[in-house]
Chain A
Amino acid sequence: MKGSVPRRRLFYFLEGGLPRLVLAPTFVAILVFVYGFIAWTAWISLTNSRLLPNYKFAGIAQYVTLFTKEPRWWVAITNLFIFSSLFIAFCIILGLILAVLLDQRVRAEGFFRTIYLYPMALSFIVTGAAWKWILNPDLGLERLVRQLGFAGFTFRWLVDSKMAIYTVVIAAVWQSAGFVLALFLAGLRGIDDAIIKAAQVDGASLPRIYWRIVIPSLRPVFLSSVIILSHIAIKSFDLIMVLTRGGPGYSTDMPATFMYAFAFNRGRLAFGAASAMVMFLAVMAFIIPYLYSELRGTRNA
């Protein structure tokens, strides 16, 4: 037996503290660098800081300015909505269709899947650089199509302030559709074969089976996809910086590039902080309910 009772108790006490000790550095790091920093940004957004932080409380003036006196912010928000809806819609449609196609017991399925997914391994900067060249107004797509015979074809979206945002959609969908494909394919593979067979025995036709049984049972995958794609959309910064730099002018500005421009380039810390806080709150608004329901589910399971 190990020594006396008090000594054993000390040993137990030290050993019992180990798990907490191990987590302590991460705890401190997250406390400071995530939640502490968020609080700091929140506070700064309530001040008048410009080039340097000043901690004097100034109310919600920055937010008021942001939403009422800054037309560029509304451009950014509008772009965000346009981009997000198109990005999410196309990714899901393309991802779902490809998943259904790949699920048909195709030969070389692994080969196709590798091809559809490789863009995810690239940085948005690399993707952006590539598409910037492909959609180049003089030497890119326009010239290619023209040289293939369609003399009057124009494609100058990249430098057209009304259409530039759609080039961002194209590049983003190209990069991310594979991810949605992977999720849907996993979901399709998880469907119980017996249910399909029962439906076939019941006389249901194949399109009907897909429509009434398969796709509804993919609902959780739809949800996960939308959540994650929305998250990617709100954070969009890299792609825009390289593809259009927010331009022409600021016609492809998005909240992330807006924030960077004002906080880092134009010396308006509080204003940039306010825009960052709006982004943060927007993301939390849908992530927190989603995480809550997911964690609840797995805890009860």
Chain B
Amino acid sequence: MPDGGLELKTGRGPGLSFGRILLYVALIAAAAFFLIPFFVMVITSVKSMEDIRTGHLISWPRQFTLEAWIKAWGSACIGVNCVGMKGYFWNSVRMVVPSVILSTLIGAMNGYVFSKWRFPGSETFFSFLLLGCFIPFQVILLPMSLTLGWFKMAQSIQGLILVHTIYGLPFTTLFFRNFYVTIPDEIIRAAKIDGAGFFRILWRVVLPVSAPIFVVSIIWQTTQIWNDFLFGVAFSGSGSQPVTVALNNLVNTSTGVKEYNVDMAAAIIAGLPTLFVYIISGKYFLRGLTAGAVKG
């Protein structure tokens, strides 16, 4: 850490210097920039529509009401169905859980092979796999639609699970491979000399130390898949739409009166799970973000 920092910080005098005060003001202003939109969402969601029509973005509610929330969850009209976000929320859950589990488990096995059981061609394959993290998905939308149709999985949750698992593999493999590379090769060699083979080494030497990267992978995949919209809108039908697609439909309905408080409540409902994961996972979330970015 640079010792001096900017001119703002003198650090030597007792108490707060002018520079220090300026620093905190800047930081708090930035915090406000990031927090205010969320504050607006929350406060809008507890106002009545009258309140909204007469007040402004950050005006305090004249009366707190949870009407909008109840409606958002159970009866808001999304497209032609007026059943609220509830069903779509559970669609997302049913889509996310298997996808996360599958892509993480397969990624762990792949990462293990790529780091400790290399063979001619494995590094090349890894590079091609890595490229899969970066392709714009527009380029696979059309063929995937057709393929899901063939397998009779069009517009189904199973189809979404398949899609998310496959396109999550490059990321999860990258996480595990980069993590396992840090396990000294000598430990694997010692295990081989001790007589252990492929699966015994995985089970007794590698997996027991893998908890941190499992956490990172699960958090990353959960966030990515829950927040996805493109695959959701391209491959789901009215019974299988995830919560993001539902939210978009709700917010962009052209029929009826616009109920901004319901919109905001629905948005918070859609965002709460990943926000919750973010808050409790702390540094693991950060690790996932920077894992792919910093090293290739």
Contact = CB atoms under 8 A, between A and B. Distances in A.
Interface string A115-154: 1111111111110111111101001110110010000000
A242 B267 CA distance: 11
B44 A123 contact: no
Contacts of B127: 291, 295
B289 interface: yes
A291 B130 CA distance: 9
Interface stretch (A32-40, A64-72, A161-169): A32-40
Interface string B1-38: 11111111100000000000001101100110111011
A16 to B, nearest CB: 8
Contact of B271 (A126, A174, A178, A237): A126
A123 B270 contact: yes
B interface secondary structure, majority: helix
Contacts of B144: 33, 37
A263 B143 CA distance: 11
B248 A242 contact: yes
Contact of B295 (A37, A44, A294): A294
A272 B143 CA distance: 12
Given A123-B227, A280-B136, A23 B125 contact: yes
Contact of A106 (B23, B270, B295): B23
Contacts of B6: 100, 104, 206-207, 210
Given A25-B106, A126-B270, A231-B134, A277 B286 contact: no
Given A130-B41, A186-B290, A125 B275 contact: no
Given A19-B198, A23-B125, A277-B139, A119 B34 contact: yes
Contacts of B106: 25-26
Contact of B23 (A104, A140, A224): A104
A123 B229 contact: yes
Interface stretch (A54-62, A81-89, A188-196): A188-196
A266 B263 CA distance: 29
Interface in A251-287: 255-256, 259-260, 263-264, 269, 272-273, 275-277, 279-280, 283-284, 287
Interface string B161-178: 000001101100100000
B99 to A, nearest CB: 14
Given A207-B7, A214-B2, A291-B127, A38 B139 contact: yes
A29 B59 CA distance: 53
B142 interface: yes
A5 interface: no
B180 interface: no
Nearest to B31: A115
Contact of B289 (A126, A182, A234, A264): A182
A238 B294 contact: no
A283 B37 CA distance: 32
Given A143-B57, A280-B138, A129 B267 contact: yes
Interface in B25-63: 26-27, 30-31, 33-35, 37-38, 40-41, 44, 52-53, 56-59
Nearest to A293: B296
B284 interface: no
A207 B173 CA distance: 42
A121 B274 contact: yes
Interface stretch (B79-87, B109-117, B183-191, B204-212): B109-117
Contacts of A179: 289
Contacts of A275: 138
Contacts of B275: 118, 121-122
Given A103-B2, A104-B5, A283 B27 contact: no
B271 A123 contact: yes
B294 A197 contact: no
B296 A263 contact: no
A112 B31 contact: yes
A209 interface: yes
B104 to A, nearest CB: 13
Interface string B261-296: 001101110110011011100100110011001111
Interface of A: 15, 18-20, 22-23, 25-27, 29-30, 33-38, 40-41, 44, 53, 94, 98, 100-106, 112, 114-126, 128-134, 136, 139-141, 143-144, 147, 174, 178-179, 182-183, 186, 188-189, 191, 193, 196-197, 200, 206-207, 209-210, 214, 224, 228, 231, 234-235, 237-238, 241-242, 245, 255-256, 259-260, 263-264, 269, 272-273, 275-277, 279-280, 283-284, 287-288, 291, 294-295, 297-298
23 contacts: A26-B173, A38-B139, A53-B142, A101-B27, A118-B275, A123-B227, A129-B264, A130-B267, A133-B263, A196-B3, A200-B3, A206-B7, A209-B2, A210-B2, A241-B233, A242-B252, A259-B138, A260-B138, A264-B234, A275-B138, A279-B136, A279-B138, A295-B296
